[in-house]
Amino acid sequence: MSAEHHVIDLVETDRQPADRAAPARRAASRTWNVRLVAAFAVGIVLGGAGVGVLRSSREERQRNATVSLVAFPASTSSSSGGDTEVVQMDGQLAVINAGPAPVTVKSVSGQRPGVQVQDTGHTRLVRPGGTAWISVELRIECALAFGSEPLSIRFSVETADRQVREVSYSVAVAGSAWHQGAERPCASLAEMARRQGQR
């Protein structure tokens, strides 16, 4: 019997420390899980913020690159003509920026049978929703200029991202301020030609 008292139960002694260490392991495991979840959440937030910044940057680039112009003949001033039924006039073209970002109009030109338009070399900054008055030189052949065919005006513009882009817009010449400004000089040229024909 005395031998039995000296036997050490290894199973019992191994269980005891294991039972005492289990709560510490569970706490460490929970802490590790919380850290993983926190790191995952931070990753999602940072990733979402990064995507948002990229999307915002891309949208801003697209907005800065968008050009939308509307134009119409605004007025005429001095005119001169020869004996060939061609009137040369100074005029203005109204240009409205219908886009979301400012643009600088660098050049304006247009040509179709009977009408030629060229800017005078001055650039104009046009803010969104704003209007610029572009000085142009007009060459109008009285017999051909005022048909129904629109005049395609080509613009060279610098956008907010400092890129130069080409855009065009069709304007009606018949019935416009340019047409009205050319009527009297064209009538004078026609009368002069009629008188010369009678000689």
Both 1 and 49 in one domain: the answer is yes
Q: Which is nearest to 130 in space by CA: 100, 165, 173, 164?
A: 100
Handedness of CA 68, 72, 78, 83 (dihedral sign): positive
- Identify the CA nearest to 68 among candidates 93, 94, 96, 108: 96
Q: What is the pLDDT along the chain (199 residues), one digit of tens a residue?
A: 455 555 555 555 445 555 555 666 666 666 766 676 666 666 666 666 555 556 666 676 676 678 999 999 999 887 776 556 889 999 999 999 999 999 999 999 999 999 999 999 999 999 999 999 999 999 999 888 888 889 999 999 999 888 999 999 999 999 999 999 988 888 888 788 777 776 6
Same-domain pairing of 59 and 71:
no
**DSSP string for residues in 105-132:** EEEEEEEETTEEEEE-S--EEE-TT-EE
Say whether pTM exceeds 0.75: no
| CATH number of residue 143's parent domain | 2.60.40.10
76 and 147 co-located in one domain = yes
Q: Are 87 and 17 contained in the same domain? A: no
Q: Is 38 in the same domain as 80?
A: no
**Could you tell me if 60 and 72 lie in one domain?**
no
- Same-domain status, 52 and 104: no
Contact criterion met (CB below 8 Å) for 98 and 126? no
For the chain, the straight-line distance linking the first and the last C-alpha, in angstroms and rounded, comes to 159
Characterize 113-140 residue by residue with b for buried, 16 or more Cβ atoms within 10 angstroms of its Cβ, and e for exposed. Answer: ebbbbebeeeebebeeeeebebebebeb
Domain check: are 8 and 26 in the same one? Answer: yes
Q: Kindly state whether residues 33 and 13 are assigned to the same domain.
A: yes
Identify whether residues 173 and 79 lie together within a single domain. yes
Q: What is the pLDDT of residues 124-158, one digit of tens each?
A: 999 999 999 999 999 999 888 888 889 999 999 99
Domain co-membership, 24 together with 14? yes
Last residue of a domain, one of 65, 96, 112: 65
Residue 101 in tokens: 């970002």
| Residue 44 φ/ψ, nearest 5 degrees | -65, -45
Residues in Cβ contact with 137 at an 8 Å cutoff, skipping those fewer than 6 apart: 88, 89, 90, 91, 117, 118, 119, 120
Listed residues 45, 65, 85: the one ending a domain: 65
Structural domain containing residue 165? 67-198
Work out how many domains the chain is built from and give that number.
Answer: 2
Please tell me what DSSP assigns to residue 150: P
Last residue of a domain, one of 19, 45, 65: 65
Does one domain contain both 59 and 145?
Answer: no
